Structure 1
Amino acid sequence: MTAVSLLAFAGLCLVLAVTPGPDTFLVLRIALNRPSAAIAAAAGSSLSAILWAALVGVGLAAILEQSAEVFRWLKIAGGLYLLYLGISSFLRARRAGAQAAAGEERKPLRYSHWAGFGSGALSTILNPKVGLFYLAVVPQFIPHGGNTMATALVLGTILAAIAFGYLAIVTALAAKANQWLRRPKVSTVFERATSGVLAALGLGVIASSAAS
């Protein structure tokens, strides 16, 4: 691969990264409570992107594309996971809001580093669109007679690095605004809004999968 090809692929990855999706809202949601756990979530998401690249290298994404049923059920699994994240986060935020209204000291929702990492990893690995993205672009960057697996891993590493950098910036911005976001009314609205977005994304994926 030439430097021009790598730059072109990096540009595609940047566009994909800055397009708001489940990973962005998940990291924002966690960053409000624990920025370091949000960085762990970004790392989990990035490593899953590399895993998708490896799966593409061995042809799994091609199987997913050819098997509409497998693809549909994987989309439903991802949608259910997003729906679970949204509903569980909303319920936690609602309980915290009720405690604050009753005059109790509001305890911030805590995420361990492993919980953040696992959430980010599952969010990406259950998103078959990542695999199909690789499937669509990897063949365009494989030189004649080149190694498909090695190329897929190189491109996957580039995507993972760009995605991690973007999500780290999102985390840093959320941390900077953390004092403002932690105001009871603001944090309640923000937590419920991000929870609603995650749940809506999950419902949208499930609905589109059921209709297909």
Structure 2
Amino acid sequence: MSIPLLLSFLGLCVLLALTPGPDTFLVLRFSMAGPRPGIAAAAGSAFGGIVWAVVVAAGVAALLEQSATAYRSLKVIGGIYLLYLGIRALMAHRKGLADAESELAARGSRERASSIRSAFAAGLLSCIFNPKVGLFYLAVLPQFLTHVTFANTLTLGAIESSIAAIEMVLLAVAASRAVELLRKPKVRDRLEQASAGILAALGIGTVASAAA
């Protein structure tokens, strides 16, 4: 790859990283609990991007482009998963209104570790079940390669995932600090409800677009 092509690709990756998507709202959702869960969600999403890069580099993603059924199936699964995350977050919010403080104190470090694992898994699955990521790699990455090989394709995918991860980690840190500054229960509750509602809406929209 030439230097001009690499610079163009980096610029495109930065622009894409700044564009809000399901992974962005997922990171925001987990950042409400602190920077570590948000960073874990960002890392999971980035790892999912690398998984897609491997799939595309191996040529498997071409099947999604050729098979409308496979594409819709994966899209429906991803939409249902986002909807599940949103509903679960809303239910957890309602359940925790009365005893949130005592429950958080009792769970301690074990709960935080579990939250980090859950955040990473959520970011990973959200990205893997989003076929648009694979189709984006399939359509765009070859445009920036003079020779399309497994290693070159995987390298560009890793670059895009790394840039997205950096943006989402910064977002997670900023969001967690904002929450710390806005510790008023009403503000925190509204933020949690909004992020959960957005995830649920994205899930419904994804399933609806796949069924159309």
TM-score, scaled relative to structure 2: 0.91
Contact 2:142–2:148 (Cα < 8 Å) also in 1? no
Q: 1:61-97 deviations in whole A, cap 9, x for unaligned? A: 1110110000000000000000000000011111222
* Residues 1:120 and 2:123 are matched in the alignment: yes
- How many angstroms does 1:25 deviate by? 0.7
Residue 11 of structure 1 is matched in structure 2 by 11
Does structure 1 conserve the Cα–Cα contact (< 8 Å) formed by 2:76 and 2:210?
A: yes
Q: Which residue of 1 aligns with 2:42?
A: 42
Per-residue Cα deviation, 1:42-67 (whole angstroms, up to 9, x for no partner): 11111111110111111121110110
Give 1:161's aligned residue: 162
Native 8 Å contact 2:33 2:176 kept in 1: no
Matches within 5 A, 1:34-113: 34-99=34-99, 105=102, 107=104, 112-113=115-116
Q: Which amino acid counterpart does residue 144 of structure 2 have in structure 1?
A: F
Q: What secondary structure sits across from 1:177 in the alignment?
A: helix
Long gaps (5+) in structure 1: none
Sort the Cα spacing of 1:97 and 1:182 in 2 relative to 1 into closer, same or farther, 3 A: same
For structure 2, the residue ranges without an aligned partner over 5 or more in a row are: 106-110
* TM-aligned CA deviation for residue 105 of structure 1: 4.6
Instruction: Give distance in 1, aligned partners of 2:157 and 2:182.
Output: 34
Aligned residues with identical type, % of pairs: 51
**In 1: Cα distance, 2:154 partner to 2:190 partner:** 40
- TM-score normalised per structure 1: 0.91
Structure 2 CA distance for aligned equivalents of residues 207 and 13 of structure 1: 28
2:52–2:128 Cα contact (<8 Å) kept? yes
Amino acid at match of 2:70: V
The one-letter amino acid of 1:29's match is R
Amino acid at match of 2:80: L
> Counterpart amino acid of 2:13?
C
1:132-147 maps to which residues of 2 (within 5 A)?
Answer: 132-143=135-146, 146-147=147-148
- Alignment-derived partner of residue 153 in structure 2: 152
CA distance in 2, matches of 1:182, 1:21: 26
* Aligned equivalent of 1:177: 178
Could you say if the C-alpha distance between residues 11 and 40 of structure 1 is closer, same or farther in structure 2, counting changes exceeding 3 Å?
same
Give 4+ residue runs of structure 1 displaced > 6 Å after superposition.
Answer: none
CA RMSD, 1 decimal: 1.7
SS at match of 2:192: helix
Cα distance in 2 for residues equivalent to 1:132 and 1:182: 41
